[in-house]
Structure 1
Amino acid sequence: MRQEMRLPLIVTGFFFILLWFGNLYAQEKPEMYFTDRSSGKPIAKDPKVIYFNDAYWMYYSIPGKEGKGWHIGIAKSNNLIDWEKVGTLNKMSTYEQNGLCAPGALVRGDTIHLFYQTYGNGPKDAICHAYSTDGIHFTRNNSNPIFRPTGDWNNGRAIDAEVCFFQEQYFLFFATRDPKGEIQMQGVAVAPKGTDFSKAHWKLAHDGPILKPELPWEGSCIEAASVIEKDNTLYMFYAGSYNNDPQQIGLAKSEDGVHWKRVVQEPFLANGKAGTWNQSESGHPDIFKTKNGKYYLFFQGNNTGDGLSWYLSNIQLKWTEALPKIHN
């Protein structure tokens, strides 16, 4: 073969190799693939999505620079795929001195109510409340922290808040640990309909865990409950096992918000296969319903398994025979 013919063939072959790798990467990377690099590393965790003032808002956890504390990032979107960061919620009060993270949120009237946890205090971590009329600037509740559980079944910790209105009262779902601090599990508190979400209004709805790890894939942890109502039934998407163990997402349902039954015994959403972007975990879910009735499950994932990166994504769900399914 002449030299002048060999070179175009080599170039063409190299082009197809690049194209093949590009297609492979495109298949592995989901349509929504969001992270935050403000800490110097690509880390965004614990997504919570709401619709407010004609836009989608997402609140999520981000570490401080050099790993100092945690903060809450704020992003906006018009399509649930492309997100732009618009702000950060930083520590302000003494109870937030080690950080704040794991946001939950709901919209009531013209106000966003944010529920988040303090960070870095071990069994003393607790749930706090703040509110905003613009989505970016928040006023803290004067009674913060608003909730920590009591009783001899837990160690007093409360993290990963999720608040929803159901059967004429507000339910606060939270993760806590057993007295030894080894097993992470779910608890629930309630507040009356007209609450301002202050500390005095929250009471344990059940003096014990409402869901604790029992299945092999759940390991020693159930956390990060995300709850939605459909046809007078609550559905809870939860994270089973600790981060990168791998953490995967399960599903349970309840008629009263207190007594829960698993819908599936295997993960509803498993971690990805080897080589995919979420092979280390698919964790910390957030279920969200759009104004036009579509359902999306947001979650975090990574493929490093070392805590040095986390990305946020979503998948669309459909409801079949009163149960959610992944929309293919």
Structure 2
Amino acid sequence: MIQNVKWVPLGTAGGWRKAAENPVIGPEYGTTFDLHVIKEEGIYRMWFSWRDVKLIAHTASTDGLHWDLPQAVLTAVPGSGWEGDEVNRPTIVVKDGLYHMWYTGQMFAKENQMSRSCIGYAVSEDGINWKRRQEPVFVPEEAWERYCVMCPHVLWEEEKGLYRMWYSAGRMHEADAIGLAESSDGISWTRVGRKPVFLPDPKNYWDMSKVEACYVLKQNDWYYMFYMGVHGDYKSAVGLARSADGINWERHPDNPVIAGDDDLWDFGGICKVSVVRENNGLRLWYNASNSGGEQIGMAYHEGFALFPDEEEVYVQEREKNPCKEGKFSYYYNRFALLDK
């Protein structure tokens, strides 16, 4: 008899499909992770975290699949008390002819120094050459944030005259929950409440442990949050939630919408995503891992209806993965305890 069965979703749901060409940025660069993509005049531009050299890099592509040789654009600052060890996890807003970047600066535990993550800010005229502020613009203060605020995602809301930043906080390696802050200038931030706006769900095994590293897309009257959920055995996938105000969230009924596939490059876990709206639907890039370092892949969604009640025909079953012919990604029992 099987007891304590934990069914872990594989593949995609909700109309998402992984690109057959995945990964689009492979192991030749080591570990590449948490990224942000925009599209300008037909060119995709990506800023990504580059673990092996502990910096933020930039690359470009005409099709979103084949990317130029990356170049370093923001590095750690030796001797800094908050970004001396590594910089990573960028988010980009283009406003008033300038590129605005918020990013994570990190210090790792060593003698006479505890781990800490803060959020910094930089500005650029071309997205390549950045001028940063010497001090962080957001630091851990609330009890739930512990010693780490990281993974910012920022939107400029014209009608409110505000930047809104969803951020992750808690532990250093993987944060615990997602909070929200607002700012009129992108530098001085005010938290929306003293608690997270999005928490793990103990009723859902796949995201019962942690939620973090979100990307928020504003579309019509909804905020859509793509977030990284971590399950009880510490494996991650990407879920989707929606909100009318950016504070109170409703999870997608078929979460996770993007999960790893058995025996493939992304089996070890799906992490942060970045989304671009196209003429006929959405494109999404994500970082994932298996036994080695992390790499970057892409997924598609035809049309813009993301929840079942937003469209007439809804795909409920998990999709067959085009990367592996004959493989049907569904639910599987990987962590069952067998009572013989």
Unaligned runs of 5+ in 1: 1-26
Match of 2:83 among 96, 112, 115: 96
Is the CA contact 1:36–1:62 (under 8 Å) kept in the aligned structure 2?
A: no
Aligned equivalents of 1:150, 1:132: Cα separation in 2: 28
- Secondary structure, counterpart of 1:135 in structure 2: coil
Separation (CA, whole Å) in 2 of partners of 1:132 and 1:36: 29
Q: Cα deviations across residues 292-327 of structure 1 (Å, max 9, x unaligned)? A: 3531121112221xxx32110111113335379799
In the alignment, does 2:137 pair up with 1:146? yes
Say if 1:175 and 1:186, in contact at 8 Å, map to a contact too. yes
Q: Does 1:80 align with 2:64?
A: yes
| Structure-1 separation of matches of 2:198 and 2:301 | 23
User: What code does the residue aligned with 2:170 have?
Assistant: R
- Determine if contact 2:23/2:295 at 8 Å carries over to the other structure: no
Fraction of identical pairs, as percent: 20
Alignment partners' CA distance in 2, 1:36 and 1:243: 28
TM-score by length of structure 1 reads: 0.77
Per-residue deviation at 1:108? 1.0
Task: Give the structure 2 partner of residue 250 of structure 1.
Answer: 239
Map 1:230-269; keep pairs closer than 5 Å: 230-241=219-230, 245-264=234-253, 266-269=255-258
Q: Contact 2:205–2:231 at 8 Å: present in 1 too?
A: no
SS in 2 for 1:295: strand
Q: CA deviation at 1:183?
A: 6.5
Q: Distance in 1 between matches of 2:286 and 2:233?
A: 13
Q: 2 CA distance for matches of 1:141 and 1:57? A: 23
Report the 3-state secondary structure (helix = DSSP H, G, I; strand = E; otherwise coil) of the residue aligned with 1:153.
helix
Which residue does the alignment assign to 1:46? Answer: 34
Matches within 5 A, 1:205-220: 205-214=192-201, 215-220=204-209
Secondary structure of the 2:206 match is helix
In 1, distance between residues paired with 2:232 and 2:41?
Answer: 34
Q: Distance in 2 between matches of 1:327 and 1:113?
A: 37
Kindly indicate whether the alpha-carbon contact (under 8 Å) linking 2:206 and 2:230 is maintained by their aligned counterparts in 1.
yes
Q: Identify which of 276, 279, 300 aligns with 1:288.
A: 276
Any conservation in 1 of the 2:206–2:232 contact (CA below 8 Å)?
A: no
Instruction: Return the offset for 1:224.
Output: 0.7
In the alignment, is residue 177 of structure 1 matched against residue 170 of structure 2? Answer: yes
CA distance in 1, matches of 2:139, 2:242: 24
Cα pair 1:243 1:281 within 8 Å, conserved: no
Measured after TM superposition, the shift of residue 150 of structure 1 is 2.7
* CA shift for structure 1 position 190: 0.4
Q: CA RMSD for the aligned pairs?
A: 2.9
Cα distance, 1:86 vs structure 2: 3.8
Give the structure-2-normalised TM-score: 0.75
* Counterpart-to-counterpart distance in 1, 2:71 and 2:152: 21
CA distance in 2: counterparts of 1:258 and 1:156, whole angstroms: 23
Partners of 2:230 and 2:238 lie apart in 1 by 9
| 1:56 to 1:182, Cα distance in 2 relative to 1, 3 A | closer
Partners of 1:163 and 1:58 in 2: CA distance: 16
Deviation at 1:219, TM superposition (A): 3.9
Deviation digits for residues 222-257 of structure 1, max 9, x if unmatched? 111000011121000000117993210011111111
Question: 1:107-153: CA deviations, max 9, x gaps?
Answer: 113211111101234663111111111121111025x3001243333
1:309 pairs, out of 293, 300, 303, with 293
Deviation string for 1:208-229 (max 9, x for gaps)?
0111111211142111100001
CA shift in 2, pair 1:108/1:226, >3 Å: same
Return the letter of the residue paired with 2:199. Answer: K
> Which residue number corresponds to residue 25 of structure 2?
34
- Segments of structure 2 that go 5 or more residues without pairing to the other structure are 1-17, 109-113, 321-340
CA contact (8 A) 2:19 2:298 kept: no
C-alpha separation in 1, matches of 2:268 and 2:21:
15
Compare CA radii of gyration and give the structure with the larger one: 1
Higher relative contact order (CA 8 A, sep 6+): 2
